[in-house]
Amino acid sequence: MLEDFARRNGLPNPTHFTDDGISGTRFDRPGFLAMMEEVEAGRVEAIVIKDMNRLGRDYLKVGQVMEVLRQRGVRLIAINDGVDSLKGDDEFTPFRNIMNEFYARDTSRKIRSEFKSKGMSCKHLTGTVIYGYL
C-alpha cells in the first residue's frame, strides 16, 4: 500500500522503517529512531504512513515530531487519515493524535483488567498451556 502510494505520487527510493511488536506509545523504537536520524541528516523528503497512529501514540511527542518534520521541510502523509502536510490539510491532526493516545491507554487498561480477572479466577493467561504444565 505504501510503496504503491509512493510510486504513484513520484516519491522515489522508498526506505522502510518498521517497529513490529513495539508499542507506538514508545518513542525509543529502533525503526523510529533510525527514521529520525535520517530526517536530521537531511536525507528524507517525505514520510508516508498508513495512519497517524503509526507515527506514535503520545499526542505531545507526535506534535514535537511533526514540528521537527516541518522545520526540516519533510512532507508527512498519512494515507488513511487524509493528512498531507504539503497541502496544509492537517488542522484536525492534533485531535486525532489525542484520540490515538486515548485509544492506546484504554486498550492497555482493558488488557490489564482482563489479565487480572483471569488471574484472580485461576484461569490460564495464555492461549495454550505448554505440555507438562497441565
pLDDT, tens digit, 9 for 90 and up, residues 28-82? 999 999 999 999 999 999 999 998 888 888 878 888 998 999 999 999 998 988 8
Helical segments of the chain, H only: 2-8, 30-40, 59-72, 93-120
Mean pLDDT of the chain: 83
Domains of the chain: 2-120 (3.40.50.1390)
Cβ–Cβ under 8 Å, residues 51 and 81: yes
Q: Is the pLDDT of residue 131 over 60?
A: yes
Assess whether pLDDT exceeds 80 at residue 125.
Answer: no
pLDDT of 93 over the 80 cut: no
**Taking 70 as the threshold, does the pLDDT of residue 97 lie above it?**
no
Which among 98, 114, 47, 40 is positioned nearest to 74, based on CA atoms? 47
Percent of the chain clearing pLDDT 90 (strictly above)? 28
DSSP state of 30: H
Average pLDDT over every residue of 18-29 = 87
Share of the chain above pLDDT 70, in %: 83
CA-based nearest residue to 4, from 51, 50, 53, 69: 50
State residue 39's pLDDT score: 97
- Statement: residue 134 has pLDDT above 60: no
pLDDT value, residue 46 = 94
The whole-angstrom separation of Cα 40 and Cα 37 is 5
The answer on pLDDT for 112 being more than 80 is: no
